[in-house]
């Protein structure tokens, strides 16, 4: 039995975040291939992308109990592995119906593994006595950048999505199995006892969750539709379209990797206000459609604008005094679960109006985040008090 140090555990959790992000980035970068391969309209694609939200919403409330009963280490390793395997299956779908089924199961794996690794991150924070959540989420964005970069290169080289995603899946499985050995082993619930039950967040925690919802909606909408936007609205090729997601992921990574230092220096409230304003500017650039370059810059600014919001929300939830897994599951269900409906909502609006007009909603939600920044003062205190 390996007994990891806290430093080893921190890097192990960072690896889990990176793996999770690489899966998401790989999927997002090859989404145009998947859509074109099945000849899907914006409305059909949006319908398919609702499935991960349903999968997450239906399983995430039980994830806290799974972690508490079996331990964070085992639960995180298993759930991350399932999310990685799903990546290889998605491009093999022969039709829309099968794709929706695969995405439903993939969403369940993505949501529960996300909650489990965040609970591990809170455990590491408590052992270290300082905030690391933003940098951990930064590693998720680094993973998204890696996955998006590989997907972009594969698209330019005319490598099919099934081959691209299968290779990435196998490599991530190996990496996850190795890094997972150094995760901290939380105490499982005693035999015969149930893990903590899911409870819907209330009061200040609910407000934090709703702010997280706005940020996640903008993040997921930009991640899943940026490449499609460049291809179908701006007329770029598949390779050029994939660059939009890659640069979006780059800005997310930069903002989150620097987030712990920025929040410590300027405070959570000021950081969210300024970054939210930056995100609004990015949304406006996307709406204007002046040029492909400006639209790509706009998506990058959206990424920078929402980068630190979700890490602050999860850190605050994990420091409320409740079982970290249960607290994070509650906030995650509000922010991630509902936020994962973003692709479907964007697709529906695009089908009724146009894809550019659907990003009016994204821009408005980022503005709500900026205007609600003072509500994260409690998260700021939790960060400073470590």
Domain ranges of the chain: 6-187+199-384
* CA–CA gap between residue 230 and residue 129 (Å, rounded): 43
The confidence score (pLDDT) of residue 128 equals: 80
- Which range, of 73-77, 105-109, 229-233, 326-330, averages the lowest pLDDT? 326-330
pLDDT of residue 380: 55
User: Are 29 and 155 contacting, i.e. CB atoms less than 8 angstroms apart?
Assistant: yes
pLDDT value for 321: 56
Q: What is the distance between the alpha carbons of residues 72 and 123, in angstroms, rounded to a whole number?
A: 9
Q: Measuring CA to CA, which residue among 317, 306, 289 is closest to residue 378?
A: 317
In this predicted structure, what is the pLDDT of residue 161?
94
Query: Looking at per-residue confidence, does 172 or 45 come out higher?
Result: 172
Query: Cα-atom radius of gyration of the chain, to the nearest Å?
Result: 19
> Which of the listed CATH numbers 3.40.630.30, 1.20.1250.20, 3.30.1360.170, 3.40.190.10 matches domain 6-187+199-384?
1.20.1250.20
The Cα 188–Cα 210 span in angstroms is 30
Scanning the structure block, which residue is given the tokens 């906030």? 331
Share of the chain above pLDDT 70, in %: 87
Asked if residue 54 has pLDDT above 90, the reply is no
Mean pLDDT value across residues 184-212:
63
Query: Helix, strand or coil for residue 95?
Result: coil
| Residue 58 contacts residue 70 (beta carbons within 8 Å) | no
Whole-number Å distance between alpha carbons of 244 and 26: 13
Alpha carbons 116 and 102: distance in angstroms, whole number: 21
pLDDT at 236: 86
Judged against a pLDDT cut of 50, whether residue 338 lies above it is answered with yes
Residue 335: pLDDT above 70?
A: yes
Predicted pLDDT at 202: 64
- How far apart CA 69 and CA 193 sit, in angstroms, is 8
Residue-wise pLDDT for 143-167, tens only, equals 988 998 899 899 889 999 999 999 9
Distance between CA 44 and CA 228 in Å, rounded?
13
Cβ-contact 242, 229 below 8 angstroms: no
Report the range of poorest mean pLDDT among 33-42, 136-145, 201-210. 201-210
Mean pLDDT for 210-229 is 89
- Work out the mean pLDDT of the chain and round it to a whole number: 84
Most confident of 132-146, 170-184, 252-266: 170-184
Segment among 79-93, 246-260, 272-286, 338-352 with least mean pLDDT: 338-352
CA distance 289 to 12: 41
The per-residue pLDDT for 206 is 77
3-state DSSP assignment of residue 49? coil
Q: Is the pLDDT of residue 200 over 80?
A: no
| Of residues 171 and 339, more confidently modeled | 171
Degrees, nearest 5: CA angle 343-371-340 = 15
The CA distance from 110 to 56, in Å, is: 7
Mean pLDDT value of segment 326-343? 72
Percent of the chain residues past pLDDT 90, beyond the cut: 41
């Amino acid at each position: 039995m390996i007994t990891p140090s806290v430093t080893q555990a921190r890097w192990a959790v960072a690896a889990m975040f990176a793996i999770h992000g690489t899966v998401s980035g790989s999927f997002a970068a090859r989404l145009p291939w998947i859509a074109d391969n099945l000849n899907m309209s914006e409305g059909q694609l949006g319908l398919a992308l609702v499935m991960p939200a349903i999968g997450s919403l239906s399983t995430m409330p039980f994830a806290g109990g799974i972690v508490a009963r079996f331990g964070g280490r085992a639960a995180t390793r298993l759930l991350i592995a399932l999310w990685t395997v799903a990546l290889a299956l998605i491009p093999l779908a022969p039709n829309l119906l099968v794709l929706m089924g695969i995405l439903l199961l993939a969403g369940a794996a993505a949501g529960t593994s996300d909650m489990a690794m965040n609970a591990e991150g809170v455990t590491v924070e408590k052992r270290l006595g300082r905030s690391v959540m933003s940098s951990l989420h930064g590693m998720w964005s680094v993973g998204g950048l890696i996955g998006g970069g590989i997907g972009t290169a594969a698209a330019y080289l005319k490598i099919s999505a099934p081959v691209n995603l299968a290779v990435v899946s196998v490599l991530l499985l190996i990496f996850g199995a190795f890094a997972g050995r150094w995760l901290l082993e939380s105490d499982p619930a005693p035999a015969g006892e149930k893990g903590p039950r899911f409870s819907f967040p209330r009061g200040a925690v609910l407000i934090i969750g709703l702010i997280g919802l706005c940020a996640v909606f903008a993040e997921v909408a930009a991640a899943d539709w940026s490449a499609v936007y460049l291809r179908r609205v701006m007329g770029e090729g598949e390779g050029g379209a994939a660059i939009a997601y890659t640069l979006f992921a780059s800005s997310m990574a930069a903002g989150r990797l620097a987030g712990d230092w920025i929040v410590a220096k300027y405070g959570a409230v000021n950081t969210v206000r300024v970054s939210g304003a930056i995100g609004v500017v990015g949304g406006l650039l996307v709406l204007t459609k002046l040029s492909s370059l400006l639209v790509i810059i706009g998506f990058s600014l959206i990424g920078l604008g929402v980068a630190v919001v979700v890490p602050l929300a999860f850190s605050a939830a994990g420091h409320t005094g409740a079982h970290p897994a249960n607290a994070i599951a509650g906030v995650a269900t509000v922010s991630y679960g509902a936020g994962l409906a973003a692709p479907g909502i964007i697709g529906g609006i695009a089908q009724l109006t146009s894809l550019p007009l659907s990003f009016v909603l994204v821009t408005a939600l980022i503005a709500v985040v900026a205007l609600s920044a003072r509500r994260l003062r409690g998260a700021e205190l939790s960060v400073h008090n470590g």
